[in-house]
Chains A and B, each alone.
Chain A
Amino acid sequence: MLTHYMDLGWRSIRKTPVLSALMVMAISIGIGITLISLNVFQLMSHNPAGERSSVLHMTQLWSQGPDSWEEYSANLTYQDTMNLRQSDIPVRSVASFRSGGAIHAEGSDAEPEMRSIRVTDSEFFAMFSVPFLYGGSWDKSVDMEAAHVVVINEDLNRTFLGGGNNVGKIIYLDVTPYQIVGIIDHWMPRPKYYDVTNGSMNFAESIYVPFSLTPHEEFPVWGNTSGWQFEPLITYNDRLLSEKTWIQFWAELPDEDAQMQFSQWLTSYVEQQQALGRFTDNTRTSWMRLLDVAEYLTDSEVVPEDNRIMIGLSALFLAVCLVNILGLLLTKFLKRAPEVGVRRAIGASRRQIFLQHMVEVSLIGLLGGVIGLVWAWFGLTTLADHLGMEEALGRLDPSMWIMTPSIALGAAMLAGMYPAWVICRTQPSVYLKSQ
Chain B
Amino acid sequence: MFTIKPVLSSLMRSRTGPLLLLLQIVLSVAIVANAGFIIQERLALMQRSSGIAEQSVLSFSLYNFGEKVNLPQQLKRDLEILRNIPGIKAATSTNMLPLSGSGWSDRFIDGPDPETAKSTPGFAWYLGGEQMVDTLGVNVIEGRNFRADELNHSITDSGMKALMSAPLAKEVFGEESAVGQIMYQGSDNQIEIIGVVEVLQGAWVDSDQFDYSVIQNIELNENRSNQFMVRADRRDVPALEETIKQALRAENPDRVIRNFNTLRELKDMSYAFHAVMAGMLSIMIILLLVITSLGLSGMVMFNIQRRTKQIGTRRALGARKRDIVGMFLVENWLICFSGGLLGGLLAMELGSQLMTLFSLPMMGWQWPAMTVAGLLVITTVAVLLPARKAALISPAIATRTV
Enumerate chain A interface residues (CB-CB to B < 8 A).
Answer: 19, 22, 25-26, 29, 33, 36, 101-102, 112-114, 174-175, 198, 220, 229-234, 304-306, 308-310, 312-314, 316-317, 319-321, 323-324, 326-328, 330-331, 334-335, 383, 386-388, 422, 434
Contacts and interface: CB of A to CB of B under 8 A. Distances in A.
B189 interface: yes
22 contacts: A26-B294, A26-B295, A29-B287, A101-B63, A114-B256, A174-B224, A175-B65, A220-B225, A230-B186, A234-B154, A306-B277, A308-B358, A309-B38, A309-B358, A310-B280, A314-B284, A317-B31, A317-B284, A327-B298, A383-B280, A386-B272, A422-B16
A297 B283 CA distance: 30
Contacts, number: 129
A160 B291 CA distance: 55
A323 B294 contact: no
Nearest to B66: A175
Give the interface centre of A306, A328, A335 by most chain B CB atoms within 10 Å: A306
Interface of B: 16-17, 20-21, 23-24, 27-28, 30-31, 34-35, 38, 63, 65-67, 102, 106, 114, 154-156, 185-186, 189, 224-225, 256, 258, 269, 272-273, 275-277, 279-281, 284, 287-288, 291-292, 294-295, 298-299, 302, 305-306, 354, 357-360, 401
Contacts of B306: 334
A22 B106 CA distance: 58
A313 B281 contact: yes
Contacts of B189: 230, 232
A386 B275 contact: yes
A327 B186 contact: no
A324 B292 contact: yes
Nearest to B154: A234
A422 B15 CA distance: 13
B256 A320 contact: no
A33 B272 contact: no
B155 A323 contact: no
A386 B256 CA distance: 28
Contacts of B155: 232-234
Contacts of B21: 327
B28 A320 contact: yes
A175 B63 CA distance: 12
B276 A114 contact: no
Contacts of B298: 19, 22, 327-328, 331
B63 A102 contact: yes
A17 B28 CA distance: 26
Given A321-B291, A324-B291, A316 B31 contact: yes
Contacts of A320: 24, 27-28, 31, 288, 291-292
Contact of A220 (B224, B279, B357, B359): B224
B284 A305 contact: no
A25 B275 CA distance: 26
A316 B298 CA distance: 21
